[in-house]
């Protein structure tokens, strides 16, 4: 008999950049399809899944601000970018038959639901994937922080952070062949050594609520499913 999944309810954070694949901008449909397939397989294990998607493949507030825009205006554009990504992800999940709801922190009634925690809970209990769009709905925040916030609000057992590498390393493994991958690492080590896992606000929010962060390679086909089965390579921040 196969073992039960490591976690019962999880939030998957995927950055906008991850959705670009090898492109310089926008969305790579092949990447979206691969991630959607992996999510479908995790849902089939009986895991309740929600998601936060970034927007860096389209627009980042800091980039707008450094070009002279008002930061709050630029961040509003960044949040709108995450809604586009969320709708794209919903499209590919539903093509695979995975019922999905998008809830936006900035109400957009004709496109998606507004963020309502209790309604999102109900969707997840019914096996629907809920994609939280528009970050926290506030400027000066990131979608990493939104991910830690929503994971806590939704009572998730873990925050799964899909990145370009298969865990947290002592140095950048793409530059340093001697870099070591950690199996587990503490929140404090991540903060004090400034390891690029998630921003400090997100790590602190996870730490305060004892929410484990599991870092894995989103580009490895089937990696999300493998992590949920306790297989493959990943690092857990606890």
Question: Residue 58 CB, nearest distance to ligand UDP (Å)?
Answer: 8
With CB under 6 A as the contact rule, the residue among 27, 54, 133, 162 that binds ligand UDP is 54
Question: Residue 231 CB, nearest distance to ligand UDP (Å)?
Answer: 26
Q: Which stretch binds ligand UDP (CB under 6 A): 42-50, 71-79, 88-96, 212-220?
A: 71-79
Q: Which stretch binds ligand UDP (CB under 6 A): 72-80, 169-177, 180-188, 210-218?
A: 72-80
With CB under 6 A as the contact rule, the residue among 12, 32, 50, 79 that binds ligand UDP is 79
CA 64 to chain centroid: 23
Neighbours of 178 (CB within 10 A): 8
- Per-residue binding letters, 99-138, with ligand UDP (x by CB under 6 A): ------------------------------------xx-x
With CB under 6 A as the contact rule, the residue among 38, 41, 48, 78 that binds ligand UDP is 78
3-state secondary structure 186-218: CHHHHHHCCCCCCCHHHHHHHHHCCCCEEEEEC
With CB under 6 A as the contact rule, the residue among 90, 143, 225, 236 that binds ligand UDP is 143
The answer to whether residues 61 and 70 touch, using CB atoms and an 8 Å cutoff, is no
Alpha-carbon distances, residue 3 vs 11, 42, 61, 228 (angstroms): 21, 14, 43, 10
Region class of 168: left (phi > 0), else alpha (psi between -120 and 50), else beta: beta
In angstroms and rounded to an integer, the radius of gyration of the C-alpha atoms of the chain is 17
- Cα separation, 126 vs 201, in Å, equals 31
CA 60 to chain centroid: 16
34 binds ligand UDP (CB under 6 A): no
Binding footprint of ligand UDP on the chain (CB under 6 A): 15-17, 54-56, 60-62, 75, 78-79, 81-82, 135-136, 138-139, 141-144, 146
């Amino acid at each position: 008999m196969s073992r039960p999944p490591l976690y019962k309810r999880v939030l998957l954070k995927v950055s906008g950049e991850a959705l670009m694949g090898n492109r310089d901008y926008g969305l790579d449909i092949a990447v979206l399809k691969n991630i959607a397939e992996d999510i479908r397989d995790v849902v089939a294990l009986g895991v309740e899944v929600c998601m936060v998607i970034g927007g860096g493949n389209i627009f980042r507030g800091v980039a707008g601000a450094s070009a002279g825009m008002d930061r709050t205006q630029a961040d509003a554009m960044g949040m709108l970018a995450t809604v586009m990504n969320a709708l794209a992800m919903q499209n590919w999940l539903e093509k695979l038959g995975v019922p999905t709801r998008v809830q936006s922190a900035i109400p957009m009634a004709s496109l998606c639901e507004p963020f309502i925690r209790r309604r999102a809970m109900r969707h997840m209990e019914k096996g629907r994937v809920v994609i939280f769009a528009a970050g926290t709905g506030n400027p000066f925040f990131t979608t990493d922080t939104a991910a830690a916030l929503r994971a806590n609000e939704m009572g998730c057992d873990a925050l799964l952070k899909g990145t370009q590498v298969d865990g947290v390393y002592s140095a950048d493994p793409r530059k340093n062949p001697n870099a070591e991958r950690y199996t587990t690492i503490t929140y404090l080590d991540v903060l004090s050594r400034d390891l690029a896992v998630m921003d400090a606000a997100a790590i602190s929010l996870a730490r305060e609520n004892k929410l484990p962060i599991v870092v894995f390679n989103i580009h490895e086909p089937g990696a999300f499913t493998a992590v949920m089965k306790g297989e493959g390579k990943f690092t857990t921040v606890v």
